[in-house]
Structure 1
Amino acid sequence: MLLSSPQFAAALRIVETLRGKDYEAYLAGGCVRDLLMGREPHDYDVATSAAPDVVLASFPRTFAVGAHFGVVLVADEETVTEVATFRSDGAYSDGRRPDSVRYTLSAEEDVQRRDFTVNGLLLNPLAAPQLSSDELRQAVLDYVGGLADLDAGVIRAIGEPMRRFEEDRLRLLRAVRFAARFGFAIEPVTLAAIRAMAPKISSVSRERVREELTKMLTEGHARRAFELLDETGLLVEVLPEIAKMKGVQQPAQYHPEGDVWTHTLMLLEQLEAGAPLTLAWGALLHDVGKPATFRVAPDRIRFDGHVEVGMAIGAQICQRFRFSNDETQQILALIENHMRFADAERMKPSTLKRFFRLEEFPQHLALHKMDCMAASGNLDHWNFVRERYEAMPEEAVRPVPLLTGRELIAAGYAPGPRFKEILRQVEDAQLEGAIHTLDEAMAMVRERFGN
C-alpha cells in the first residue's frame, strides 16, 4: 500500500526531522492499526523521545495545546499532526486525565499507558517506505502483543484492564466501539472488567459519551455496537430508555420481527457508514415512546400516543447529551413524522406539499424505508411518497406567496391575529391549485373574511 495523502506526508516529514536530530520517532496508535488492516487512516499521530520544547523548536508552526501532557501540534499548509513525547502517567483521580506525567526515553514504557493492544503498536515509516504488508510488520515495535490480537481479531486492554478503565472510563465505550467497528471479540478478562465497571461510566462527561455513541451509530456497525452495549451492561447506564425496549412485544401482523428492541436493532443494521448524525439518532429513538405506551387492546397490541411520548423522551435525551438546538430539532422531527407516511395517499395536495417542506426531507424518507424493512418489508407508502417528492419541482412545494400582510394592509385589513389564518388559507388554496394570481387571492379573502 503506497500512501500519498497530505496527512501521511506530514507525519513522515516530522519523523524524518526528529530522527535527523537523533531522537526516536514513530507513527503511533490507531494509524498503525489501520495501516496493518489495509485501511487508510484519517489522521496520523507521532510518538517521540524528544521533549515538548524540542518539538516546539523543530518546526515552523507549532502549538503547545497539551504541553502538560507532552502533546504538541505541528501544522503546515494542509494538515495538523499531533506529536506526543514518550511518557509515563501518574494517578488518574478524575477518571479522565493523569494528575501528573513523567517524560521517559522508553518507547516501551510509553506504550504501557495506552488503552488496547491493537492501539499500542509503533511503526517506523522510514523502515517501510512502500508500506507493503511484510514491510509494515517488520517495521512495527510491538511490546504488548498487539500484532497477535490484530490477527486474532481481539480487543484486549493493555496490562490490568481494571486499571486501564479506572484511568479513563470512556475506554469502556471505546472498547465496544472498536469491537463493533472491526468485527472483533472483546477478550474475556477485558469484558469482565467492562461489566464490573459499567456503572462508573456515569462519571464521564455527557458530551464525551455522546461523541462515542454517535461514532457507534455512524461508523456502519451500529447494530453490533448496541448489542455489545447491552451485553456489557453499558446500555442501561447510558441509554436506559433504549434498554426498556427489550421484551416489549408488538402486533405480529405489522411487526413479525418481534419486540421493539429487535425492531430497533434491525433498523440500526441498515445505517450506512457516514450516515448523518441526526438520521442515526432519529433511527435509534423513533420508537422510544413505545415501552411507556404499550397496551393490549381487544383487537391487538397498541401504542397509542407513542409518537408524542417519544418526542418528550427524545427531547430529554437530546438535552441530557447536550445536542445543539438544530440537531435536537431534526431528531425530534424524525420521531414526530415517522408515522405520517401511512396517511400520505389521503393527504390533500397542500398537506403533502407541506410534508415535503420538512427540513432534510430525504432523512425522513430514509428513516421510513429502514422502518419498513425492519418490519413487514412493505414499501408501498414509501414508494408513493418518494415518487411524488422526486417528481414535484421545488417551485410547486415552495411557491412565491401570492399574498402577504403588506397587500392585506393596503386593502384595508387591520393587522392582527386573523392575518395568520387568512394567509394560511390563501397559501392552502395556492398549493391546491385553486388560485393563481393576486387578484384571485384577494377575491378569496373578501369572500371568506369580508371587506
Structure 2
Amino acid sequence: MENKFGEIKKEVQHPNPVSLDQELRIFNFHDNDGKKFEVVTKEVGNIDQVYEMLENNGEKKAIAPKELILIIDAFKNCAQLIKSRSGKEVRRSPHLLISGGFVRDILTGHIPRDIDLTTNLTSGEIYTLVKNLQGVKRVGIHGESSEVVRVKFNSGEEYEISSFKNFEGKNRTINPGEDAGARDFTANALFYSPLSGRIIDYVGGIKDIKEKRLKFTGSAEKRIEEDGIRMLRFVRFLFKTGFSPAGEDKAIIRVLASRLKNEATERIKNELDKILLLAPADSALGMLDELGLLEQIFPEVKALQNCEQRPPFHLEGNVFNHTMLVAKKLPLNANLRLKWAAIFHDIAKPETREETEKKGKRKVSFLKHDQLGAEKVGTILKRASFSNKEIEELKWLIANHQALFQQVSGRIKEAGSANLDRAKNRAKAVFKKMIMDKGIDLIEDLVCLSIADLGGQISEKDDGELDQKIIKEIFFETKKELEENKENGVDLKKLVNGKIIMETLKLKPGPEIGKIQKQVLDILLQSGENFSDEELAKKRIRELILKLKA
C-alpha cells in the first residue's frame, strides 16, 4: 500500500557534513568496497504524528507508546556541551535514532512491533539517563563487544538502546552512516529521528521499500562474509516483508551458500524456526533449495530429489516432490513441530527403496521407511541442535505417520457391513491409546500429518480422499467420547490402576498386576463402552478383572 508520508527530499552532498538540525549531522556512508550512497531524508513528523498516520486494525488511529515518549523526552532534555566546528562550546541534545524494523514498518503502513533505539551515548551514559524514568521496573546492560541497554517498564513495555556501531560491530562511533553500514538489508538500515521528525536513509532503503525489493546493504558478499547467518535472514525477511529478492543478491547467496556450514548450528536452527513460523513449509523449503541453502543444512532432504517413486502409489514423481506436496497440504495454522515432521516424514525412503517387476510392470516400495526414518531423523536433528524434546516428538510422529492409514482407515475400509461397528470401535481404541500415552496435542499433529501425507499422494487407486475422510471422522468421534467421559468424571487410564486390581483380587504388588491392567484397558477401549459416572465405570472394571482371572 502507498504510505501516507511526504515526498522524498534528497540532500546535496558537500565536502563537509551538512547540518540537518541541532541533534543530527549527516555523514557520508561508504561501503567497504568504496561504493558511495546519496543521503536521503523524508519528513514524517514527530512520534505522535507518525502513529496517528497508521491505522490500528483498520479501525482507529494508533497511539504512540507513552514509555517510548518518555525515553525520547529524556534525550531531548539532556543537553550536552560540545565543541562546534569553529571551536565554540554549544549545548546540544545527544543523537537519538529509532532504527531498523520500526522505519520499515511505518513506511509500509504497519504498526511497529520492534522498537530499537540507537545513540552516540555510551552504554553507561544511556543507563544513567533512563534508570530513573517514571515507571521503570528494571534497567540492565547486556552484551560484550556491542553493549545494549535494556529498559523494562512496569507496563511490560521493553526497549533496547545501543550505541552507534561501525563496520567492525564495535560501539562508540558518532557516525550513524557507519551504523547503517553495519546492518544487513537496506530496508533494515533506515533511521527515524524522533527529535527532528525525519527518516534518514544512507543506503537507498526508502527506494527499495517503495519498490518492494529486499537487498543487502552495500556489498552482499561482504555482508555475508561478516555473518553467514544473514543468508537465512534474507530468506526470513522475504517472507516477513513480502518483498522480491534482488537478483544479484540471490546469485551471490548461491555462490556463498557453503559458508553456512561455518556457522553455529544453534543459530541456524533459530533462524529456520523463525522462517517456518512466518512461511508455509513448502514455500520455505522451496526458497531454501532455490538459494542453495537446503543442501548445506539438510543434505538428506536435498537427496530426496534423487529418489524416484513410481506407480501404483506415487505418480507425483520423486520423494522431494511428494514432500513439497505434503508440506503444502498442512493446515494454514500448522505449528513448528508439524512443519518439521512433514519435511522429514519420508527421510528414509532412499535407504528402503526396492524396485520389483511383476507381469511386465515395475513397482517401487519403501518397506519400513517410517521406522528407519525415526532412527535416521534422530541423528539429523541432534546434529542440527534440536532439543531432546523436539527430537523425541518428531521421531514418534515419523515412526507413526502411516499408522492411521493402516490401523484406522484401512481397517474400516476392509470391514464388511456386519463388522463395521466393531472395526470403528477398534479404530477409536487406536486413537484413545495414543492420546492416553502422548496427549491430545501430539495426536492432533499426527492426524494432520497423515491427512497431508495422503493429500500429497497421487495414486492409481485415487482413494486418498476416502482415507482422509475416515481418519477425520473417527478422530473427532473419539475426541467427543473422551470429552463426554471427562465431563462425567470418567478417566479410564486413572481408574484402571493397580489399586483396584489388588483390592478386587486380593493380590500383592507384582508383574501380574500390570498385565491385568493392560488387558482390562484394551477391552474397555476396543468395546467402545462409555459411562455416565465414575461408579458405573469402576463396577465394570471390577467385573472385567474377575472375568479375566476366572
Shorter-chain TM-score: what band? 0.7 to 0.9
1:105 counterpart residue number: 174
What is the CA distance between 1:332 and its match in structure 2?
Answer: 2.1
Q: The residue matched to 1:40 in structure 2 has which SS?
A: coil
Q: Give the count of matched residue pairs.
A: 431
Point out the more displaced range, 185-194 or 269-278: 269-278
Q: Is 1:74 aligned to residue 151 of structure 2?
A: yes
- The partner residue of 1:86 within 139, 164, 169 is 164
Q: Distance in 2 between matches of 1:250 and 1:446?
A: 53
Q: Is 1:28 aligned to residue 110 of structure 2?
A: no
Which letter does structure 1 place at the counterpart of 2:523?
Answer: A
What is the CA distance between 1:27 and its match in structure 2?
Answer: 1.6
Q: Distance in 2 between matches of 1:252 and 1:151?
A: 49
1:300 counterpart residue number: 363
Which letter does structure 1 place at the counterpart of 2:145?
Answer: H
Q: The residue matched to 2:447 in structure 1 has which SS?
A: helix
1:136 counterpart residue number: none
2:245 counterpart residue number: 186
Check 1:233–1:269 CA distance in 2 against 1; reply closer, same or farther (3 A cut). same
What is the CA distance between 1:440 and its match in structure 2?
Answer: 5.0
What is the CA distance between 1:30 and its match in structure 2?
Answer: 1.9
1:405 counterpart residue number: 498
- The partner residue of 1:124 within 177, 190, 193 is 193
Q: Distance in 2 between matches of 1:439 and 1:277?
A: 43
What is the CA distance between 1:447 and its match in structure 2?
Answer: 4.6
Which letter does structure 2 place at the counterpart of 1:155?
Answer: L
Question: Where do 1:184-223 residues align within 5 Å?
Answer: 184-223=243-282
Q: Is 1:333 aligned to residue 412 of structure 2?
A: no
Q: Is 1:421 aligned to residue 515 of structure 2?
A: yes
Contact 1:73 1:80 in 2 (8 A): yes
Contact 2:163 2:171 in 1 (8 A): no
Contact 1:7 1:79 in 2 (8 A): no
Point out the more displaced range, 354-363 or 204-213: 354-363
What is the CA distance between 1:152 and its match in structure 2?
Answer: 2.5
2:24 counterpart residue number: none
1:135 counterpart residue number: none
- The partner residue of 1:147 within 165, 184, 206 is 206
Q: Is 1:162 aligned to residue 221 of structure 2?
A: yes
What is the CA distance between 1:53 and its match in structure 2?
Answer: 1.6
- The partner residue of 2:233 within 167, 170, 174 is 174
Note the alpha carbon deviations across 1:378-409, whole angstroms, 9 max, x for none: 13233333432343233648425444222444
Q: Distance in 2 between matches of 1:13 and 1:253?
A: 68
2:417 counterpart residue number: none
Q: The residue matched to 2:256 in structure 1 has which SS?
A: helix
Contact 1:27 1:44 in 2 (8 A): yes
Q: Distance in 2 between matches of 1:438 and 1:258?
A: 54
What is the CA distance between 1:249 and its match in structure 2?
Answer: 2.5
Q: Is 1:57 aligned to residue 162 of structure 2?
A: no
1:366 counterpart residue number: 448
Contact 2:261 2:297 in 1 (8 A): yes
Q: Distance in 2 between matches of 1:381 and 1:433?
A: 17
Q: Is 1:309 aligned to residue 372 of structure 2?
A: yes
What is the CA distance between 1:276 and its match in structure 2?
Answer: 2.1
Q: Is 1:235 aligned to residue 294 of structure 2?
A: yes
Structure showing the higher strand proportion among its residues: 2
Which letter does structure 2 place at the counterpart of 1:250?
Answer: Q
- The partner residue of 2:434 within 355, 360, 381 is 355
Q: The residue matched to 2:269 in structure 1 has which SS?
A: helix
Query: Which structure 2 residue ranges, 5 or more long, are not aligned?
Result: 1-53, 79-92, 132-137, 412-422, 459-463, 531-535
Check 1:366–1:429 CA distance in 2 against 1; reply closer, same or farther (3 A cut). same
Check 1:196–1:158 CA distance in 2 against 1; reply closer, same or farther (3 A cut). same
What is the CA distance between 1:112 and its match in structure 2?
Answer: 0.7
Percent identical: 27
- The partner residue of 2:72 within 10, 15, 32 is 15
Check 1:382–1:26 CA distance in 2 against 1; reply closer, same or farther (3 A cut). farther
Which letter does structure 1 place at the counterpart of 2:143?
Answer: G
Q: Distance in 2 between matches of 1:232 and 1:400?
A: 50
Q: Distance in 1 between matches of 2:230 and 2:447?
A: 35
Note the alpha carbon deviations across 1:69-115, whole angstroms, 9 max, x for none: 1311121111221111112143xxxxxxx5xx241212111101111
Q: Distance in 1 between matches of 2:239 and 2:283?
A: 5
Query: Which structure 1 residue ranges, 5 or more long, are not aligned?
Result: 91-97, 129-138
Q: The residue matched to 2:306 in structure 1 has which SS?
A: coil
Q: Distance in 2 between matches of 1:351 and 1:156?
A: 51
